[in-house]
């Protein structure tokens, strides 16, 4: 499961790549994100109530409230940041968001850890002319309003879709990888009926991917800057 990725794209580049007008860019003075962890700030491309593309900052991970087993009081919630493709249409936790609220998650790389004590951090991306060619992960989003531990918060939350790994990723993570979308599928992912969108979820071709860097203590993709 992917619990770490990077988005080092400038907002103006995201506007261009994902056909978002300047007026619909709500990221503010966004700086490059070399390491996005669950509960971190995750920019997405979604559709507003008028069907126009917008850039939004989100909380990475759907909020799952928790209470202390010892005291019964609210504690910091979980952030469920990966949605398995085989659960999207059957789980009540994901189904409505997949049907009604799909999004693109801009990225420059994603990371999987291999082994433990110490782990090797492997940063994957797509091939292209740039050092870290941009791409989009298949995502879903929903709003949250309620107790976030001991505080009340109103959030837009997002989660990325995971699928079976290709040959390149499988050596590091044998079970799952984030679903990377082909650029020609961006519009269909955002607007098509759910069954048609589901067909777009598949392992990205290994020959179109690369390992950008790997090693211990590489919990951010500084090479993307």
pLDDT tens column, 3-45 = 999 999 999 999 999 999 999 999 988 789 999 999 999 999 9
Beta carbons within 8 Å of 118's beta carbon, 6+ residues apart:
216, 217
184-206-176 Cα angle (round to 5)? 95
User: Within a 10 A sphere around the Cβ of 185, how many other Cβ atoms?
Assistant: 18
Work out the pLDDT band at 73, boundaries 50, 70, 90: confident
**Residue 101: C-alpha distances to residues 117, 168, 177, 225 (Å):** 39, 30, 21, 31
C-beta separation of 41 from 57 below 8 A: yes
Nearest to 204 by CA among 180, 174, 168, 173: 180
Domains of the chain: 5-220 (3.90.1680.10)
Distance CA 205, CA 146 (A): 40
The whole-model pTM stands at 0.95
Work out the pLDDT band at 149, boundaries 50, 70, 90: confident
- pLDDT score at 1: 64
pLDDT tens column, 182-201 = 999 999 999 999 999 999 99
**Residue 98: C-alpha distances to residues 57, 106, 137, 145 (Å):** 19, 18, 14, 19
Q: Residue 37 is encoded by which pair of tokens?
A: 């962890």
Nearest to 80 by CA among 165, 147, 157: 157
Tell me the β-bridge partners of 156.
143
């Amino acid at each position: 499961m992917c619990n770490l990725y990077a988005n080092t794209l400038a907002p103006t580049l995201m506007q261009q790549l994902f056909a978002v007008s300047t007026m619909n860019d709500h990221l503010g003075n966004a700086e490059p994100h070399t390491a996005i962890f669950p509960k971190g700030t995750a920019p997405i491309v979604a559709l507003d109530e008028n069907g126009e593309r917008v850039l939004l900052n989100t909380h990475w991970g759907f909020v799952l409230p928790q209470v202390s087993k010892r005291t019964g009081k609210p504690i910091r919630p979980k952030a469920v940041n990966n949605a398995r493709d085989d659960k999207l249409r059957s789980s009540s936790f994901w189904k409505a968001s997949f049907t009604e609220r799909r999004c693109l998650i801009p990225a420059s790389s994603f990371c999987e850890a291999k082994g433990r004590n110490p782990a090797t951090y492997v940063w994957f991306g797509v091939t292209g002319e740039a050092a870290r060619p941009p791409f989009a992960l298949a995502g879903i989003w929903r709003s949250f309003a309620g107790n976030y531990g001991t505080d009340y918060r109103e959030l837009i939350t997002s989660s990325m879709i995971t699928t079976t790994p290709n040959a390149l990723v499988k050596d590091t993570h044998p079970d799952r990888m984030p679903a990377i979308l082909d650029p020609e599928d961006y519009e269909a992912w955002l607007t098509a009926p759910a069954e048609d969108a589901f067909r777009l979820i598949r392992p990205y071709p290994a020959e179109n991917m690369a390992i950008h860097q790997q090693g211990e203590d590489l919990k951010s993709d500084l090479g993307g800057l």
